[in-house]
Amino acid sequence: MTLTLTPNITDPDGFYDELLQAHEGLSKEESDAYNARLILILANHIGDREVLRVALKTAK
């Protein structure tokens, strides 16, 4: 399995809006904690350590 880097989300603008709304009213610390939880949930969903390793390197 390889990391998908091409657009793959239907309605990306809608998703981005939902992501921004999820952070509304949160402090910086709460927003950071929310992001950490979201990353761990999505990483668990992906489950493939090699894909996650590539994602970590790509994001850096």
CB 46 within 8 A of CB 52: yes
> Is residue 13 situated within a structural domain?
no
Both tokens of 26, joined, read 């949160």
Provide the domain count of the chain: 1
The larger pLDDT score, comparing residue 3 to residue 18, is at 18
pLDDT in tens, 13-41: 999 999 999 999 999 999 999 999 999 99
Q: Return the pLDDT at 56.
A: 96
> Is residue 51 situated within a structural domain?
yes
Q: Return the pLDDT at 46.
A: 95
Alpha carbons within 13 A on the beta-carbon side of 37 = 8
> Is residue 48 situated within a structural domain?
yes
> Is residue 30 situated within a structural domain?
yes
**Which residue range(s) make up the domain with 31?**
26-60
> Is residue 53 situated within a structural domain?
yes
- pTM of the full predicted structure? 0.87
